[in-house]
Amino acid sequence: MRAALWFLALFGVAVAVALFAGNNQGTVTVFWPPYRVDLSLNLVVLLLVGGFTLVYAALRGLSALLQMPRQARRWRLQQKERAMHGALLDALSQMLAGRFLRARKAAESAIAQESALEDARHGLPHGAQLRTLAHLVAAESSHALQDRSTRESHLQQALDSIPERVPTSMLELREGAQLRAARWSLDERDANTALERLSTLPAGTARRTLALRARLKAARLSHMTQEALETARLLGKHRAFSPAAAVSIVRGLAVELIHGAHDPSQLQRIWLSLESSERAMPEIAVQAAQRLAQLGGEAAQVRAWLLPVWERMIDAALPALPDQQALRVVQALEASLQGLDANWLARIEAAQQANPRDARLQYLSAMACQQRELWGKAQHLFTQSTQQLSDAPLRASAWRNLAALAEQRGDGEAAAHAWKQAALQNQNVER
C-alpha cells in the first residue's frame, strides 16, 4: 500500500514538471557588462536546486567531520559501559554457578570500570545502583569463600554507595544489603550481630517475611524465646509457613518458654502472655500445668489450666486426643488432686460414668475418690482399671494404691499380691 502511494506521488510530480517545463518559454537574462547571458527558466531552476543540494551536502560533510572526535569518544564510552555491564552479568552468572572466586573477580572488574567512568566525569545515572550490586556480589562470593574481611569491606562500600536519604528504588537496595548481611551473620551463628543489623532496618522492612524469618532464627540462636514466639506469630499471620508448621513452631516455642520459668509467678506471666488459641493447645496446657506443679504452684491453678483440655478430651463431639496426650492429661490431673473440690469430683465422676469402658477415666476417678476418702468406691474403680489399663505407669500406680488400701484395712494377703503386681508393672516400665 505504501509503495503504491509513493508511485502515485511520483507520477503526480512528473505530470506537474511536464506541465510546467514542457512549454515554458521564460528566460532569465543576466547582465554582466559588457556581457549579456540569456538562460532558460528551466535551466535556472535546475541550477538553483543543484546548488542548494551541493551546499547542503558540503555543510553536512563538514559537520560530520567536526563531530568525528566526539563520536569516537562516545563510542569508547559505550564500549566501557558494555564491558562494565558484561562484567556484572558474568559475576552474577559465575556466582549462581558456584564459581565464587571468578564471580568476585568479575564483580571487582565491574567496580573498577564504573569508577573509571566516574573519574572521567562520565558517570551513569544508575551508577550507584550498579556499583552497590557489584559490591554485594563480591561480598556474597567472599562469604562463600569464608573470606570475612573482604566480605565486610565490600559490604561497607555497598552501604556507603547509597546514602540513607535516597529515592525508594535505591533505598530498597540498601535494605537488601542489610538483610543479606544479617543472613551472613546467621550462617556464622552470630545471633547478636544479626539482631543488631536487623534492628537498623526501617519498621516496614523489618516486618517483611524475609526479615521476620531471619529474626526468628536469630532469636532462637540467642535463646530469646519470648521474641522468637512473637516473631513466629507474625510469620504465621503472614502465611510464611503452612498452618501445620506454624502451629508446630509456636507450640514448640511456647513449651520452651514454659520450661524456662523458674517460679510460679514467672510462669503465671508467661501463661497470660500466651494467646487464647495457644492456651487451648493440649501440649501447651499440659506442659504448663506440669511445670506449675513442679514449681510448687497451687493445685487449683493447675486444674484451672487443664480444664479446657479436659473438656475437649471428654467431649465426644470433638476429635479424640491422641493416646499419649490423653495419658499426660490424666497424669497432670492426678498430680493436682490435692484439695480437690466437689465440682472437679463431679466432673471426673460424670466423665467416668459417661465412658465406663475408658480405663484411664476409671483410674482418675479412683484417685479422686481416694483423695476424698471414699475408700470403697476407690478400691472398686482401681480393681476395674487394673484389668483394662494398657498404660504400664498407670497400671503400676493402680496396684500400688490397691496395696495401700489393703494395708489400711489390714488385709495382708491382698496387699502382698498388689505389691507383687506393682513390682511386675514397674519392671515392664523399665524395659
Residues 175 and 206: beta-carbon distance below 8 Å: no
Residue range 304-312: mean pLDDT, rounded: 83
Q: How far is CA 386 from CA 17, 351, 378, 382, 404, in A?
A: 124, 18, 12, 6, 15
Q: Is the pTM of this model over 0.95?
A: no
Q: Is the preceding peptide bond at 34 cis, omega within 30 degrees of 0?
A: yes
Between 70-74, 97-101, 374-378, the lowest mean confidence (pLDDT) is in: 374-378
Residue 40 burial class via C-beta count within 10 angstroms: exposed 0-12, middle 13-18, buried 19 and up: middle
Residue 95 — very low, low, confident or very high, per pLDDT cuts 50/70/90? very high
Please give the grid coordinates belonging to residue 159. 552501604
The mean of the pLDDT values for the chain is 83
219 or 11, which is more confident: 219
Residue range 210-225: mean pLDDT, rounded: 89
Q: What is the pLDDT of residues 104-123, one digit of tens each?
A: 999 999 998 888 888 777 77
User: How far is the C-alpha of 264 from the C-alpha of 139, rounded, in Å?
Assistant: 49
Q: 3-7, 38-42, 222-226, 380-384: which has the highest mean pLDDT?
A: 222-226
Residues 331 and 357: beta-carbon distance below 8 Å: no
Residue 379 pLDDT > 70: yes
Q: What pLDDT does residue 414 have?
A: 77
Q: What pLDDT does residue 429 have?
A: 55
User: How far is the C-alpha of 412 from the C-alpha of 418, rounded, in Å?
Assistant: 10
Q: What percent of the chain has pLDDT over 90?
A: 14
Residue 40 pLDDT > 80: no
Residue 37 — very low, low, confident or very high, per pLDDT cuts 50/70/90? confident
Q: What pLDDT does residue 91 have?
A: 93
Residue 34 pLDDT > 80: yes
Beta bridge partners of 27: 40
Q: What pLDDT does residue 317 have?
A: 66
